[in-house]
Amino acid sequence: MDVIPAIDLLDGQCVRLYQGDYAQSQVYDADPVAVAQQWVEQGARRLHLVDLDGAKAGHPVNLKTIEAIANTVNTSSSEPVAIEVGGGLRDYASVANLLSTGIQYAILGTVAVENPKIVQELAQEFPGQIIVGIDARKGKVATRGWLETSEVLATTLAQQMAQMGAAEIIYTDIQRDGTLSGPNLDALRELAEAISIPVIASGGVSSVTDLLSLLALESVGVTGAIVGKALYTGDVDLKEALRAIGPGRWQDIPPDFGASNFA
C-alpha cells in the first residue's frame, strides 16, 4: 500500500483545511516545493497535490508551483516520483494541458458529477492517468471545492466512473479530513467492495496504527492512503510509516495492535 503525502496549495502556500473549510486553513509552509522535496527525501514515491485556489475558482491557478514541484523532485530523486493533481480540473483542455507537462495523474471531482462524459473522453485519451476524486459528506458527494453537496451517493458515482474508465478512485470523507480522527473504514470497505478499480483512502489518518488499519483493507482494493495534517503535525513520521507498511510489514505490527483492527 502506498503512503502518499498531501500538499494542499492555497495562495501559493502549503496549507491544511479543517473539514474542507477554507475559513479554517492553517499555513504549514510558505514554500511548497521545499515541502515536496522533504517528503521525497524521506522516501515518498508519490505525491498528492491539490490546487485549492483552483477548486474554488473552477480552473487551475497554481500550475507554475505544481510544475516546479514536479521538476524539482524528479530532477533530484534517483527514482521517478509520481505526481497526482486535483483542483479546478473541470474541462478537457485543463486536463490535457496539465498532463502535457509531465504530471502523471489528473484528479477529476466536480466534473465527474456535473459532466461525466468528459471523464469517459479523457480516460480514453489518457488511459491509466485519470483518477476520480470522490469527496463525501455522510455518503453524498460534495463538489466545487467542497462548497456544495449533491444528492449523488458516493458508491453510485464510483461505479459509474469505473465503468467510464477511471484508473482509480480517491475517497475522502470530508468530516474526517484534517481532524486526525481516523479514517472511515466502513465507508472505504463499502466503496472498495462495490467497484473493481483501486481505491485510495483520504481523510482522518492520525497515526501509523490508522495506516495499519487501512492496510487490512488492501485485500478488498484499498491500495493507498493520502496523509496530510498528521505529517505536518508530526503525528505520523513518514519514514516510520513507510517501514510499517513496506516489505516485512506484517512482522512489524506492534504486538498490542489488536486482531479486531484486521476484521
Which CATH number is 2-246 given?
3.20.20.70
> Beta partners for 130?
106
- d(CA 260, CA 16) in angstroms, rounded, equals 31
Could you read off the pLDDT of 220-236 as tens digits, one per residue? 999 999 999 899 999 99
- Terminal CA-to-CA distance of the chain, rounded, Å? 18
Higher pLDDT, 124 or 24: 124
Full 3-state SS string of 123-168: HHHCCCCEEEEEEEECCEEEECCCCEEEEEEHHHHHHHHHHCCCCE
Instruction: Let me know if 91 is a catalytic residue.
Output: no
Residues 6 or more apart whose CB falls under 8 angstroms from that of 227 comprise 3, 4, 5, 6, 205, 211, 236, 238, 241
Could you read off the pLDDT of 75-110 as tens digits, one per residue? 888 888 999 999 999 999 999 999 999 899 999 988
Looking at this protein, which amino acid is placed at residue 172?
Answer: T
Looking at this protein, which amino acid is placed at residue 254?
Answer: P
Could you read off the pLDDT of 201-210 as tens digits, one per residue? 998 899 999 9
Averaged pLDDT of the chain: 87
- d(CA 158, CA 156) in angstroms, rounded, equals 5
Res. 51: pLDDT tops 70? yes
- d(CA 22, CA 38) in angstroms, rounded, equals 25
Instruction: Let me know if 29 is a catalytic residue.
Output: no
Catalytic residue among 8, 51, 53, 173: 8
Res. 243: pLDDT tops 80? yes
pLDDT value of residue 30: 87
Catalytic residue among 21, 29, 31, 135: 135
pLDDT value of residue 249: 40
In the numeric block, the cell 490535457 is attached to 96
Could you read off the pLDDT of 139-193 as tens digits, one per residue? 788 876 556 677 789 999 999 999 999 999 999 888 766 667 789 999 999 999 9
Span 239-261, mean pLDDT? 56
Cell numbers given for 100: 502535457
Res. 136: pLDDT tops 90? no
